[in-house]
Amino acid sequence: MIRAVIFDLDNTLTDFMTVKRAAVDAAVAAMLDAGLDARMGEARLEDLRTRVAAQIHDIYGREGLEYQKVFNAFLKEALGEVDYKLLAAAIVGYRRARDSALVTYPHVHLTLHRLMRRGLKLAVVSDAPREPAWLRLVYLNLHHVFDEVVTFEDTGVRKPESAPFEETLRRLDVGADEALMIGDWPDRDLAGARSVGIRTVFAKYGFSWSPDRTSIDTHPSDFVVHDILDLIDIVDRLNDVASSEGTPAHGR
């Protein structure tokens, strides 16, 4: 009997990588408008735009996608100092673009509400720090939906370590055999959940960004979904009940 569904946050509930790319592009444009090209002496503006964006993404690659001082680090590397006019422009440009681009994948709200109507407990397990994770949930208007949200700061380790999943099960008061985990990253979300006995659902719709596209072969899932709404059919089949709405999972 499935009593709980556990969700990864980024690239499972929201297309985080698209948001990140849009926000970085906006930050670069804002710095250029504030005079970065004059400081760096690049002849072709488009070349500079591409080079700066690549350098910022390289910093994220080294420090992690939640690194909060990425523009400070870039300016120190590029100029030898932090120019606070450029820094402020980058931060404001980034935040404006992030806030406008941060939306859920199609059918997320519908899926969560149908799961709630079936009496299931819902949780999020994220490698993000607590504050950014909650900020994203509030922006997405999902902060009232989940019974529990477990972040990096709650256990001090990241997926695929077992502790985040064990802590989530403890808080939800369910056994591993009573839960499903859905995530887009096989060697983190799926491997970690399987290590404690939780059945897994591969969110293939969020997998295109993955740095290791072969990891699904190494860490297979129990189920694969191309649309998050497919979760409804999976839960109903596992619980051997007909949909309470009398319609296919997609309502088509």
Q: What angle do CA 81, 23, 150 make, to 5 degrees?
A: 100
Tell me the per-residue pLDDT of 64-88, one tens digit each, with 9 for 90 and over.
Answer: 888 999 999 999 999 999 999 999 9
pLDDT score of 81: 96
Find how far residue 233's CA is from the centre of its chain: 23
pTM above 0.85?
Answer: no
Alpha-carbon Rg for the chain, nearest whole angstrom, is 20
Q: What angle do CA 69, 36, 89 make, to 5 degrees?
A: 50
Tell me the per-residue pLDDT of 183-222, one tens digit each, with 9 for 90 and over.
Answer: 999 989 999 999 999 999 999 998 765 555 556 667 789 9
Q: Are 5 and 182 in contact (CB under 8 A)?
A: yes
Tell me the per-residue pLDDT of 109-131, one tens digit each, with 9 for 90 and over.
Answer: 999 999 999 999 999 999 999 99
Among the listed residues 28, 143, 151, 145, the one whose alpha carbon sits nearest the alpha carbon of residue 97: 28
What's the whole-number average pLDDT of the chain? 90
d(CA 199, CA 161): 16
Q: The domain 4-15+104-238 is classified under which CATH number: 3.40.50.1000, 3.30.70.260, 1.50.10.10, 2.130.10.10?
A: 3.40.50.1000
